[in-house]
C-alpha cells in the first residue's frame, strides 16, 4: 500500500527497473522509513527469501506454436482475445487463491450495473465501519473516510487502480447489502461466464479457503471486461488515482514500461503469491496473459513480458475469407427465390502460428424455408490447418428472401413431393 504522502518516486523507480515494487504485507502494505543500514539488511533478506522461494520453471502443457516458455509460477496462460482461444498454458484449470485479481469480478459487476442503468456514475456510496480501512498498513485501501460518501465512478477507480479493499466492500454493501450478498452476485456472474473452477466468498480477495479461481477462468473474465465494458475499460490503463488527498500508483508495472499494455489487475497475499492479469494490443492482435503465484512483483512482470513477447512473435492474424465474398449458395424452400447467397456477416480474423496455411470448408443449413431475413445465419465456414480445425465463423444471408404466394407454395409442395 502506498503511504498517505504523494510522491512520483515509486513511479520513476518502476519505469527505471521495469517493475513497480509493491510492498511486503498482504495486498501491499506501506513500509515505514528505515535507517540505511537496516534498509540494506532488509533488502539482503528479501533477496535471499526470493531466491529461496523461487519456483521451478513450469513448462507449457498446451501450446499452439513451438518454443513456448517455461515460467516459474504455479499456473500461467496466454489467450487470444478475439477468439478466446488458449494459445499456451500450464496448470490452467487448478483452482488457486486469486488474491486481488478477485476485484476484476467486483469491477465487472459494477461496470455492468452502470451500463444497464442500475447504477449511475454520480450515485453516492456510504462507507460503513465494516468497509472502512482503519489506517493500518495491513491491506490495500482507497482511504475512504468512515461514514463518508463517494461516487460510484470514484469507487470504481479505487477498486481498479488502487486495489482498495474499502472501496470493494463499500460497493458490495451498496449493491447487495453485504459482502456475502455481493458474493452471490459474483458467483452468478461466474456461472454465466462458465468459470468452472471459480468460487467467490468476498469482493476483495482476502484469504478464505473456499475463495478460488483458475488461470483459464481469470482470462475469460478479463476478456469479458474488455468486450462488455468498452466505455470503462480505459480505467484499467490509468497509472494513478488521487482520492482524499492521497495519490496512489497502479501496481501493474507493465503500464509504465510497455505502451501496448492497457490493463488489467495485480494481486498478492502470502498464500496466493504474486499474481498478474495483463492485456496487450499490438497492431490488430490483442493477447491476455495470466500469471498465478510467482515469488515477486518483478517476477510476475517479467513473466508476463516473456509470455507476451513469445505470443506476438509466434502468432499472426489470418483472414481466411474476405468480408464481402460470397462463399456459398443456400437452397431455400417456399420463397420467391430458390436460393440465397451466403457470406460473412462481420470481418473474420484468425490467430494462427506464423506461416500457417489455412483452408476453409463451407457447411450450409439444410431445409431452409422462407421467409429468410437478410443477415440470418444460414451456415458456417470452418477453417483448418493440416487437417485440424483452427476456427469457424457463421455465414449469413446476403439478401432477404420473401415467402412465396399461396399458389406458388402449393406448386412448390407438389414439386418437393415428387422430388422435382
Last residue within a domain, chosen from 284, 315, 346: 315
What is the number of domains present in the chain?
2
Q: What is the pLDDT of residue 393?
A: 92
The CATH number for 398's domain is: 2.60.410.10
Residue (of 314, 395, 315) closest to 350 by Cα position:
315
Q: Give, in order, the Cα–Cα distances in Å from 302 to each of 214, 245, 309.
A: 20, 32, 10
Tell me if 198 sits within 8 A of 214, measured CB to CB. Answer: yes
Distance CA 253, CA 50 (A): 18
CA end-to-end span of the chain: 77
362 lies in a domain? yes
180 lies in a domain? yes
396 lies in a domain? yes
Q: What is the pLDDT of residue 139?
A: 83
363 lies in a domain? yes
290 lies in the same domain as 338: no
The CATH number for 13's domain is: 3.40.710.10
333 lies in the same domain as 310: no
320 lies in a domain? no
Which residues are tagged catalytic? 100, 103, 163
Instruction: Name the 3-class secondary structure at 254.
Output: helix
Residue (of 167, 173, 132) closest to 150 by Cα position:
167
Q: Which DSSP string do the residues of 83-95 spell out, in sequence order? A: T--EEEEESTT--
Tell me if 210 sits within 8 A of 133, measured CB to CB. Answer: no
2 lies in a domain? no
Residues in the chain: 420
227 lies in the same domain as 374: no
99 lies in the same domain as 221: yes
Compute φ and ψ for 90, nearest 5 degrees.
-145, 130
pLDDT, one tens digit for every residue, the chain (420 residues)? 333 334 443 433 343 344 333 333 333 333 333 333 334 434 444 444 444 457 899 999 999 999 999 999 999 999 999 999 999 999 999 999 999 999 999 999 999 999 999 999 999 999 999 999 986 667 899 999 999 999 999 999 999 999 999 999 999 999 999 999 999 999 999 999 999 999 999 999 999 999 999 999 999 999 999 999 899 999 999 999 999 999 999 999 999 999 999 999 999 999 999 999 999 999 999 999 999 999 999 999 999 999 999 999 999 999 999 887 899 999 998 888 999 999 998 889 899 999 999 999 999 999 899 999 999 999 999 999 888 888 899 999 999 999 876 655 555 455 666 654
Q: What is the pLDDT of residue 278?
A: 98
- Is pTM beyond 0.85 here? no
Write out the residue range of the structural domain in which residue 175 sits.
9-315
Compute φ and ψ for 382, nearest 5 degrees.
-110, 130
101 lies in the same domain as 54: yes
Q: Which DSSP string do the residues of 36-66 spell out, in sequence order? A: HHHHHHHHHHHHHHHHHTPPPPB--SEESSS
- Strand pairing partners for 276? 266, 291
**Would you give the DSSP letter of residue 30?**
P
Instruction: Name the 3-class secondary structure at 224.
Output: helix
Distance CA 199, CA 78 (A): 22
Q: Give, in order, the Cα–Cα distances in Å from 384 to each of 29, 121, 312, 314.
A: 51, 46, 21, 18
Amino acid at each position: 500500500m502506498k503511504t498517505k504522502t504523494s510522491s512520483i518516486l515509486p513511479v520513476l523507480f518502476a519505469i527505471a527497473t521495469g517493475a513497480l515494487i509493491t510492498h511486503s504485507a498482504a495486498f501491499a502494505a506501506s513500509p515505514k522509513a528505515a535507517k540505511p543500514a537496516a534498509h540494506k539488511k532488509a533488502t539482503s533478506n528479501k533477496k535471499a527469501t526470493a531466491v529461496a522461494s523461487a519456483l521451478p520453471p513450469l513448462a507449457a502443457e498446451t501450446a499452439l506454436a513451438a518454443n513456448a516458455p517455461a515460467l516459474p509460477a504455479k499456473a500461467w496462460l496466454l489467450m487470444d482475445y478475439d477468439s478466446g482461444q488458449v494459445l499456451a498454458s500450464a496448470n490452467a484449470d487448478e483452482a488457486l487463491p486469486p488474491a486481488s485479481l478477485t476485484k476484476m469480478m467486483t469491477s465487472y459487476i459494477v461496470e455492468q450495473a452502470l451500463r444497464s442503468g442500475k447504477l449511475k456514475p454520480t450515485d453516492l456510496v456510504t462507507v460503513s465501519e465494516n468497509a472502512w480501512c482503519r489506517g493500518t498498513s495491513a491491506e490495500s485501501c482507497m482511504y475512504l473516510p468512515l461514514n463518508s460518501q463517494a461516487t460510484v465512478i470514484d469507487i470504481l477507480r479505487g477498486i481498479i487502480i488502487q486495489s482498495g479493499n474499502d472501496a470493494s466492500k463499500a460497493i458490495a454493501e451498496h449493491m447487495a447489502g453485504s459482502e456475502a450478498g455481493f458474493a452471490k452476485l459474483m458467483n452468478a456472474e461466474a456461472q454465466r461466464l462458465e468459470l468452472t473452477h471459480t468460487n467467490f466468498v468476498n469482493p476483495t480477495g482476502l484469504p478464505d479457503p473456499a475463495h478460488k479461481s483458475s488461470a483459464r477462468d481469470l482470462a475469460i473474465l478479463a476478456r469479458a471486461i474488455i468486450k462488455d465494458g468498452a466505455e470503462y475499460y480505459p480505467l484499467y490503463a490509468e497509472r494513478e488515482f488521487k482520492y482524499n488527498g492521497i495519490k496512489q500508483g497502479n501496481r501493474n508495472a507493465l503500464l509504465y514500461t510497455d505502451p501496448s499494455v492497457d490493463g488489467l489487475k495485480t494481486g498478492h497475499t502470502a498464500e496466493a503469491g504474486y499474481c498478474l492479469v495483463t492485456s496487450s494490443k499490438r497492431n490488430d492482435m490483442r493477447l491476455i496473459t495470466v500469471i498465478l503465484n510467482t515469488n515477486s512483483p518483478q517476477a510476475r512482470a517479467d513473466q508476463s513480458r516473456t509470455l507476451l513477447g513469445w505470443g506476438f512473435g509466434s502468432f499472426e492474424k489470418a483472414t481466411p475469407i474476405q468480408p464481402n465474398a460470397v462463399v456459398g449458395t443456400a437452397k431455400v424452400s417456399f420463397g420467391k427465390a430458390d436460393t440465397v447467397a451466403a457470406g460473412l456477416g462481420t470481418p473474420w480474423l484468425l490467430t494462427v502460428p506464423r506461416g500457417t496455411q489455412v483452408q476453409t470448408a463451407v457447411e450450409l443449413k439444410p431445409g431452409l424455408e422462407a421467409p429468410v431475413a437478410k443477415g440470418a445465419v444460414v451456415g458456417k465456414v470452418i477453417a483448418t490447418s493440416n487437417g485440424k480445425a483452427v476456427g469457424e465463423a457463421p455465414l449469413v444471408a446476403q439478401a432477404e428472401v420473401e415467402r412465396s404466394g399461396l399458389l406458388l407454395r402449393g406448386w412448390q409442395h407438389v414439386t418437393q413431393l415428387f422430388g422435382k
